[in-house]
Amino acid sequence: MNALTMKWLLRREYWEHKGSMFWAPAIVGALLVLFVGGTVIYGLAMHGTPGTIQINGRIVSHGAFAAAMPPEMQIKLSRLASGLYVAAGAPLFLVMAGVMFFYCLGALYDERRDRSILFWKSLPVSDATTVLSKAITALCVAPIIAGVLAVVASLLLLTIGAIGLSFSGVHLIGALLTQPDLYLQPLRLLALLPVYVVWALPTVGWLLLVSSWAKTKPFLWAVGVPLVALLLVKWISYTLENFSGTPLNIMPVAQDIVARMLSGSVPGIWFSFTDGIPAAVRESGQGQGPDMGLLFEASWMTLATVQAWVGALAGAAMIFAAMRLRRWRDEG
């Protein structure tokens, strides 16, 4: 596989789907920033900066409010804000998950529907390279774009919040700039990409396989087949339990398989397939929110589970099958 060829194939995928991969999360991020910033600006413009603040039923002035918050409390608040500010970009990742789902579903189906596959197959590019470029776009390019936009939107929201607090006499900007988490969170987010790739592989593989095979209505095939199979397994288990008294105890496994096939593109979904968020993360975050450093480590620890790699191998096998299907599949 030529690296230059792959580079141009990735550019092609981005150019063709720039609206969904870049502009959709960018618009959502802009709306988040405008909503929060507009709320703060509107409040200040309409009501001004209040001269007094009510705390526990007691009216205090700005100066008293600032004095009531000692430096230790300001440092604690800045630590909490710097550790959790990236969470404000969560809506962008949900948008990315939806975009990735429909992108994979149409990646190979659309080129057969509009007959553009005849042009692309006339080029000296193998089917394996073409399908792999689409998988890399879904697994790496789209999440990186969404991650960058989420960090930018989160930083803007953090800045707006800090400026808003400064009007109440609480100045956190200096304390925020001294917090290591402020700079580590974007790096941690980027470092979670391999974890995301492993857990998203079954979804990407399944959707690309359906996209390369379905002659019509790929969404119904992609969603309907797993759900019908799940209902069939449940019916068989129910029937065996009624006739023999012994249930077919494979429902939890079947539910996990269907969930991996349909929802693996959602960031953080890996905790639902393991033991959930570790108790150490929850305990360390009591009253302060989750410890993002421990949450990052816990995410990487999920790669030590059998479920992660069995699903990843299944996803890779389905991507390989999609490559083979594209070699001969045609609407004619």
CA dihedral 95, 99, 100, 105 (to 10 degrees): 150
- 188-to-84, 146, 191, 296 alpha-carbon distances in Å: 12, 14, 5, 7
Q: How far apart are CA 267 and CA 244, in angstroms?
A: 41
Show the tokens assigned to 72.
Answer: 């230790």
pLDDT for 111:
87
Q: What whole-number distance in Å separates Cα of residue 242 and Cα of residue 232? A: 15
Residue 52 phi/psi, 5° resolution? -130, 160
Residue 54: what pLDDT? 47
Written in H, E and C, the secondary structure of 95-154 is HHHHHHHHHHHHHCHHHHHCCCHHHHHCCCCCHHHHHHHHHHHHHHHHHHHHHHHHHHHH
> What is the structure's pLDDT at 64?
46
Measure the N-to-C terminal CA separation of the chain; round to a whole number of Å.
29
Q: What pLDDT, on the 0 to 100 scale, is given for residue 59? A: 47
Q: Report which of 184, 56, 131, 190 is spatially closest to residue 321, judged by C-alpha positions.
A: 131
Determine the pLDDT at residue 51. Answer: 47
Dist. CA 23–CA 103, nearest whole Å: 14
- Count CA atoms within 13 Å of residue 234 on its CB side: 9
**Blockwise average pLDDT, block size 10, the chain, 332 residues:** 85 93 95 84 57 47 51 76 86 94 93 78 84 96 96 92 75 84 92 96 96 91 93 84 72 88 92 73 54 83 92 96 80 44
3-state secondary structure of 54: strand
